[in-house]
Amino acid sequence: MPFDYAPAPESRSIVDIKSSYGLFIGGEFVDGSGSAFKSISPASEEVLAEIAEATADDVDRAVRAARQAHTRVWSKLPGSERAKYLYRIARIMAERSREFAVLESLDNGKPIRESRDVDLPLVSQWFFYYAGWADKLSYAGLGPDPRALGVAGQIIPWNFPIMMLAWKIAPALAAGNTVVLKPAETTPLTALLFAEVCQQADLPPGVVNIVTGAGSTGQALVDHADVDKIAFTGSTAVGKAIARSIAGTDKVATLELGGKAANIVFDDAPLDQAIEGIVRGIFFNQGHVCCAGSRLLVQENVYDEVLERLKRRMSTLRLGDPLDKNTDIGAINSAEQLARITALSDAGDAEGAERWSVPCDLPDNGFWFAPTIFTGVTQAHRIAREEIFGPVLSVLTFRTPSEAIEKANNTPYGLSAGVWTDKGSRILAMADRLRAGVVWANTFNQFDPASPFGGYKESGYGREGGKPGLAAYLEGSPA
């Protein structure tokens, strides 16, 4: 039984949410020409702010501002000067991290424990890391005179709004590009607060531009003739549409798309740690994680023990107010995403898998889904093949390492995988045969700016993070 905890809400008074926000173009907030939309808190459905919608004309203004800033200012600065701005942003993000964490939890629904301890620390780490690269491009094996691509159009999803912004903007600026970034429609607020950070850091106007809106705003950015690169994170369907749109143009792209990762537990694994890793793998960020360990593969002879321990551990997860410091599971990001998770889970029932959910009370308002596992899942089930992007785990079994590999690789995706075993040699052998961009061993969902991240197959192409993440913003790079 979970302990009873008194509520421990983080105060939201540190955040000053304006009633309405414009677009950030050329260093200033300006009006949008489209119809304003609302951003709500998914935990309560409270309206947080009204947001301007950028039309194709507004996107054009932003791209022109970015081009001008690139030609006149940013491309002329030595790397050491660009680094100073990036270090400044990194420091401001660290100083204002509590404010950003509260705003992120309000707008996205994720627990403050995660936005405070994972997302925001990674944001400043990303800026610090790429600041360090900015003056070393010529000595890094990236060619004798590495040149920026120019203007990057960046489109990010709602699951890690400020973290995805940092993953995109830090390497682009370090490499000498200017950017136009479109946050997701449901989570624009931290990107707009970041625009204020750009002003605070005295970043030259036009180096970073933020255009808010829905898919059509993203499409206008993709279609703009003067954008040199598209960096996209989101669904495989939209990623494919973007690849089709830019085919035959000079634009380059990195696409970071969906996943259906296998988390493989061998019978010699340290089971206490493995249980923590399974929970972290699928219930972190409500399972709204492209590299989530959404397919658990357990060796048959430890299946009963793993299942029993997993259910016991899951029963201690606390679901509720994202701003409560005791909360493990926050709100689902939107009504649409909740409907998707519900529909796929219902398909699991209909196809004969067995559902078990943590017994817990769901709040009356907002969008919620109890942490759930399905057992008796076969590889043919939709819940074993399709990305659910929610707190739902499909459990399968295996007998031999070869069977584990075969099942793990039996997916159109190839973003990540996890291996839990006592044997180092087995870890290496498995990592060699798993078709996944990232393989975690005896851990899961660990991120580091120095470590490249990206997928195979329908999980996309190109890498973010590390030196490859920088090369993706330089001329002549393969991505």
- Interface residues with ligand TAP (CB under 6 A)? 155-159, 182, 184-185, 214-215, 218-219, 222, 233-235, 238, 241-242, 256-258, 290, 340, 387, 389
C-alpha–C-alpha distance, residues 237 and 472, integer Å: 22
C-alpha–C-alpha distance, residues 120 and 98, integer Å: 8
Angle, helices 79-95 vs 189-200, to 10°: value is: 120
What is the amino acid identity at position 261? A
CB of 366 to ligand TAP, least distance (A): 18
First to last CA, the chain: 50
Q: Which residue is nearest to ligand TAP (CB)?
A: 218
Reported in sequence order, the residue ranges of 125-251 that DSSP labels E, i.e. its strands, are 151-155, 178-182, 208-210, 229-233
Q: What share of the chain is helix, strand, coil (3-state, %, to 5)?
A: 40, 15, 40
User: Does the annotation mark 290 as catalytic?
Assistant: yes
Of 190 and 397, the one with the shorter C-beta distance to ligand TAP is 190
CB of 459 to ligand TAP, least distance (A): 8
Of 115 and 219, the one with the shorter C-beta distance to ligand TAP is 219
CB of 132 to ligand TAP, least distance (A): 26
Q: Which backbone phi and psi does 94 adopt, to 5 degrees?
A: -70, -40
CB of 212 to ligand TAP, least distance (A): 8
Of 173 and 290, the one with the shorter C-beta distance to ligand TAP is 290
Of 157 and 176, the one with the shorter C-beta distance to ligand TAP is 157
CA dist 449 → 236, 300, 385, 452, 466 (Å): 24, 36, 30, 7, 6
What is the amino acid identity at position 467? K
Q: Which residues on adjacent β-strands are paired with residue 398?
A: 299
Of 175 and 230, the one with the shorter C-beta distance to ligand TAP is 230
For residue 280, which of 159, 391, 359 has the smallest C-alpha distance? 391
Q: Which 8-state DSSP code applies to residue 118? A: I
Contacts of 247 (CB under 8 A, 6+ apart): none
CB of 390 to ligand TAP, least distance (A): 8
Of 185 and 328, the one with the shorter C-beta distance to ligand TAP is 185
Of 20 and 80, the one with the shorter C-beta distance to ligand TAP is 20
CB of 232 to ligand TAP, least distance (A): 7
- Give DSSP secondary structure letters for 304-360: HHHHHHHHHHHTT--BS-TTBTT-SB---S-HHHHHHHHHHHHHHHHTT-EEEE---
Q: Which entry of 256, 387, 458, 464 is annotated as an active-site residue? A: 256
CB of 190 to ligand TAP, least distance (A): 14
Q: Which entry of 53, 104, 290, 386 is annotated as an active-site residue? A: 290
C-alpha–C-alpha distance, residues 171 and 379, integer Å: 38
Q: Which residue blocks in 175-299 are alpha helix, DSSP H?
A: 189-200, 215-223, 236-246, 271-283
User: Does the annotation mark 46 as catalytic?
Assistant: no
Of 17 and 241, the one with the shorter C-beta distance to ligand TAP is 241
- Residue 22 three-state SS: coil
C-alpha–C-alpha distance, residues 56 and 180, integer Å: 13
- Give DSSP secondary structure letters for 362-411: PPSSS-----EEEES--TTSHHHHS---SSEEEEEEESSHHHHHHHHH-S
CB of 280 to ligand TAP, least distance (A): 17
For residue 408, which of 389, 424, 394, 423 has the smallest C-alpha distance? 394
- Residue 262 three-state SS: strand
- Answer positive or negative: Cα dihedral of 304, 310, 312, 314: negative
CB of 285 to ligand TAP, least distance (A): 10
Of 459 and 477, the one with the shorter C-beta distance to ligand TAP is 459
Give the residue numbers annotated as catalytic, written as ranges.
256, 290
